[in-house]
Amino acid sequence: MADIITVIVNGEPRELRVPPEMPLVWALREELGLTGTKLSCGIGLCGACTVHVSGKAVRSCVTPIGEVSGPVTTIEGLSSPGGLHPVQKAWIENAVAQCGFCQSGFIMAAAALVDETPGAQHAELLQQMTNICRCSTFSRVRLAMLTAAGHGVKSHD
Amino acid sequence: MTEALQVDRRRFLGGAGAVVLTLVCGDRGIARTFGVPEPVATEQVFSAWLSIDARGMVTLVNAEAEMGQGTNTAMAMLVAEELEIPWGRITTVPMTARPIYTNPAFGMLKTGASLSLKGRYLQLRQLGAAARQMLVQAAAQEWKVPSQACRAVAGEVHGPDGRSMPYSSLVAGAASLPVPQDVPLKPRADWAILGKPQARIDMADKCTGKARYGFDKTVPGMVQAALVHAPQFGARVKAVDSKAALAVAGVTRVIALDYAVACIASTSWSALQGADALVIEWENPDPAAVIDDAKIDAMLRDGVAGKVQGRNGLIPAHKVGDPAAGFAQPGVLAVSAEYSTPYLDHACMEPTSAIAHVRPDGIDIWSSTQSPAMIYHAAKLLYGFEADKVRVHQQPIGSSFGRRAQIDGELEAMVLSRIIGGPVRAIRSRSEDIQHGFYRPASRSALRGAVKDGKIVAWSHRCASQSLLDNYARYFREYGIDLKELDKLTGPAGASGFNFAPFDLMSVDGTPSNAVYAIPNVEVASAKIDVPIPTGWFRGVGQTNNLFATECFVDELAYAAGQDPLAFRKTLLSGQPRFLAALDCAAREIGWDKKPAKGIGRGIAITNMSDAVTVAIVEVAASKSGFEIRRVVLAVDNGIVINPDVVEAQTQGGFLFGLGAALWGRISIAEGRVEQTGFADYRLLTLQHCPALTVIQMPSDDPPSTISEAAATVAAPALANAIFAANGRRLRDLPIARNDFECRATVA
């Protein structure tokens, strides 16, 4: 039988009775009801399932819940009491999303990049964004990354 | 709207709250209902469109699927403009499908074919105008003044002497008034909301994780069913060893259908793990009938060569003038070439899933579907339920491109729910999804053209592909459903997109049978191949195949005639001012008149899909082994524009969707099955290969028309033409990557 696994999700400790090999994406979606994190390719390639573990972008469809060693932040927990994360603001300002299904993952990947590499050049940031969007919103992702980098890092604190 | 307006009263059972004015706008016109649903729940408002609550917030039922193309916003804009409410005071909810929601342009309840705005443009403005007039009249009665002395301003009615009342206070009075007919609509010059960029009403939800899709839906008591389909097309289940699957924690049951096996569990992950552990013996089709790419290619070649007789042979589809005489003229220069395209998968981000609850008294379905009416009519044919006993709860779609016009997931969920006796969510892994799609068919085009005095004097286009429809009928037969019966129920004859002619018209879309060019002698013929691969509508449909051939071959003829491809096209388009304007505009933007440096080439492609004007010019830098896309310019005339911001986004996205497919998209067939297993071997576009892209909008007075479907179809021919201009390599077989020709990243 599954042991109890304790994970901090969006700042709150959560107890899960699931097998440790269950991918984090399913634990978030079906055990905790956090459906903002999506599943698409299932092999860690498209990035739709991206969440933060200890502030780093992680593809939750290939991350077993038992191997999660730090606090998890999902799209639902990205904003702070002070407001939306600068990347979210930039995304809304540039009207990036079309169907929106991949956008949680896109925003989480972009937020980790912007937060981790303050002052990074726009092109450097873009090179590291490997998420797939089938609506092909890339033209506006590019604009939003420019806006987000310009907003200043961690201005939401 | 020409139908008579009819008043219909209906009281909703809901929680206590404000009186809500609810208007119904169905096939019989606009009518009114009133009641107390607050907040509006689609399950309660079974046949309503519009309600205004106590805070003056307007809720519109969106009868078009929202799948990224922005219908939530566009439909709300249409109503808000006529209702005279500020943008931001209206929201939408997805519908529970009813026949009254039928799209008037489609003749059925389905989202697709770029018909959402075309069908709703008049209807929803009329709805908003009727509601506005009722509110104005209610205020006039309250104040005992003539309604002419009152007017609606920003969610309030203003009367004489500076009096005003908010809509929310007028709803009860308005609800008892007769519904006005033929209220004049605002002239375009007075539009405050329409035609101007408006923020998408669902943007914030999509950026904060609040947006819910079909894939996110849960229903109490629901179980998960992960499906494993026969890998070979046409194979059947012979035997199932479910021991290992049942040993997976959470797995409760294994159900074998004819062509698939379902693993039932309490969680999705358990169900998918169990499905992986199934040991299934398949009864495969006769090896002689097992197809692969080589066989398909040979069949397509035979088809265009006219080597096939009978129902799959070449059938004349279109003829202008005397093509034989055109080719036989003295002094003509004749050119011939063949083009090919592969099978493509939609590869939607949201995996195929659907929830069904089949009960003795009716069915509930929750799904991300483009075809709700087809679902409830299929349910009638399957189980005998009338349409009003089958409630299809539309869910927002996480991208579709035509894939969710198919109802395979919903049928599987219904069948399993009936067996299990409770709500079932049918899901599948990504590899199952990509191996069991409804693919854009592979095609081959054989073209001959003759030029004389710098003009095309004759054109012959023979194309071959699978019919989009033949395998459809086969698919429904699995369920004992006769496609012709389904078609009859779903809409006016053939409206559901099927036609039962000897060939389907979609297979010649994008050939000169419907191109804009003035060519005096044209013949188009179409041949079918009969292989058991499921095919279906794909963003741009037939044009994604034939326009590639047509627009590249126009270029070939231009070069054969010693002409500049832009000037050559303009000669052929002399009677088409919208096209000439768009071509000139795009050419100016890219600097066509300045000869590019060596190794740089520009390519044009145009389409008149759905009466819109779409022009693309691509600029590449190419060597012998690879190329880089430097720039893309699109000039588009989509008729009357509702939201320029969404037109821009859809044009960008549509083009890039087509570009990714042109570069790498290919579903390959070996041993009777799809070889690809997911996004690792079905390569899709990412940011690194996204070129700089300029969209120039040239709106006109024509009705609102297609945006992204047209933009998707011009990408491949414009790119191939640019590559030829840059390095002299004429690429006639898609995807580009098959030609040992690498597209280098453009972001740096």
Q: Does A66 touch chain B (CB under 8 A)?
A: no
**Please, are residues B158 and B150 in contact by the beta-carbon 8 Å criterion?**
yes
Chain B residues whose beta carbon lies within 8 Å of the beta carbon of residue A88: 207-208
Q: Which amino acid makes up residue B623?
A: S
* pLDDT for the residue B38: 33
Dihedral sign (CA B671, B677, B683, B685): positive
CB contact under 8 A, A136 and B210: no
CB contact under 8 A, A100 and B652: no
In angstroms, what CA-CA distances link B545 with B8, B176, B344, B710?
48, 55, 11, 12
Q: Does B663 touch chain A (CB under 8 A)?
A: no
Domain spanning A86-148: CATH 1.10.150.120: yes
**Nearest chain A residue (CA) to B434:** A41
Measured distance CA(B7)–CA(B24) in Å, rounded: 9
Q: Does B686 touch chain A (CB under 8 A)?
A: yes
Q: What is the pLDDT of residues B195-232, one digit of tens each?
A: 999 999 999 999 999 999 999 999 999 999 999 999 99
Residue of A30, A92, A99 with shortest CB distance to B397? A99
CB contact under 8 A, A104 and B267: no
B448 to chain A nearest CA, in Å? Answer: 35
Residue of B204, B205, B268 with shortest CB distance to A30? B268
**Please, are residues A83 and A35 in contact by the beta-carbon 8 Å criterion?**
no
Residue B468: Cβ within 10 Å count: 26
CB contact under 8 A, B399 and A134: yes
A143 to chain B nearest CA, in Å? Answer: 11
Residue of A19, A36, A136 with shortest CB distance to B653? A136
Q: What is the pLDDT of residues A108-134, one digit of tens each?
A: 999 999 999 888 888 889 999 999 999
Can you tell me which residue has the tokens 């009357």? B640
Q: What is the three-class DSSP state of B281?
A: strand
CB contact under 8 A, B349 and A137: no
Q: What is the pLDDT of residues A14-45, one digit of tens each?
A: 999 999 999 999 999 999 999 999 999 999 99
Delimiting residues of CATH 3.10.20.30 domain(s) in chain A: 3-77
Q: Does A20 touch chain B (CB under 8 A)?
A: no
β-strands B362-367, B443-452 pairing = unpaired
* pLDDT for the residue B205: 98
Q: Which residues contact A27 (CB under 8 A, 6 or more apart)?
A: A7, A16, A18, A65
A103 to chain B nearest CA, in Å? Answer: 6
**Nearest chain B residue (CA) to A74:** B209
CB contact under 8 A, A130 and B649: no
**Please, are residues B62 and B85 in contact by the beta-carbon 8 Å criterion?**
no
Measured distance CA(A88)–CA(A94) in Å, rounded: 10
Letter string b/e over residues B574-608, b meaning 16 or more CB atoms within 10 A of that residue's CB: eebebbbbbbebbbeebebeeebeeebbbbbbbbb
Mean pLDDT of all residues belonging to chain A: 93
- The upper half-sphere exposure of residue A130, i.e. CA atoms within 13 Å in the direction of its Cβ, equals 11
* pLDDT for the residue B512: 82
* pLDDT for the residue A151: 52
Superfamily designation of domain A3-77: Beta-grasp domain (3.10.20.30)
* pLDDT for the residue B386: 86
Q: What is the pLDDT of residues B631-669, one digit of tens each?
A: 999 999 999 999 999 999 999 999 999 999 999 999 999
Residue of B70, B350, B652 with shortest CB distance to A101? B350
A66 to chain B nearest CA, in Å? Answer: 15
CB contact under 8 A, A2 and B684: no
Could you say which residues from 245 to 284 on chain B have a Cβ atom under 8 Å away from some Cβ of chain A? 249, 267-269
* pLDDT for the residue B663: 98
Cα pseudo-dihedral A55, A72, A35, A45, rounded to 10:
60
* pLDDT for the residue B332: 96
How many inter-chain contacts (A to B, CB under 8 Å) are there?
Answer: 175
Q: Which residues contact B600 (CB under 8 A, 6 or more apart)?
A: B619, B620, B621, B630, B726
| Token pair in block for residue B657 | 């969707």
Cis geometry, peptide bond prior to residue B360 (ω within 30 degrees of 0): no
Q: Does A22 touch chain B (CB under 8 A)?
A: yes
* pLDDT for the residue B387: 79
* pLDDT for the residue B683: 98
Can you tell me which residue has the tokens 């079906």? A30
ipTM computed for the complex: 0.96
CB contact under 8 A, B207 and A107: yes
* pLDDT for the residue B500: 57
**Nearest chain B residue (CA) to A61:** B269
Cα separation of the two ends of chain A: 42
φ and ψ at residue B30, rounded to 5 degrees: -95, 135
* pLDDT for the residue B361: 95
**Please, are residues B426 and B413 in contact by the beta-carbon 8 Å criterion?**
yes
* pLDDT for the residue B13: 24
Delimiting residues of CATH 1.10.150.120 domain(s) in chain A: 86-148
Q: State the maximum Cα–Cα separation within chain B, in Å, rounded to a whole number.
A: 87
* pLDDT for the residue A157: 37
Element (H, E) at B715: helix B708-727
What percent of chain A lies above the pLDDT cut of 90? 86
CB contact under 8 A, B679 and A102: no
Could you say which residues from 36 to 55 on chain A have a Cβ atom under 8 Å away from some Cβ of chain B? 36-43, 45-46, 48
Measured distance CA(B721)–CA(B724) in Å, rounded: 5
Chain A residues whose beta carbon lies within 8 Å of the beta carbon of residue B268: 26, 29-30
In angstroms, what CA-CA distances link A19 with A25, A67, B265, B350, B696?
13, 11, 15, 25, 54
CB contact under 8 A, A45 and B747: no
Measured distance CA(A66)–CA(A69) in Å, rounded: 8
Measured distance CA(A140)–CA(A147) in Å, rounded: 10
The length of chain B, given as a count of residues: 748
pLDDT band per the 50, 70, 90 thresholds, residue A58: very high
What predicted TM-score, i.e. pTM, was given to this entire model?
A: 0.94
Ranges of chain B with pLDDT below 50 = 1-19, 25-47, 748
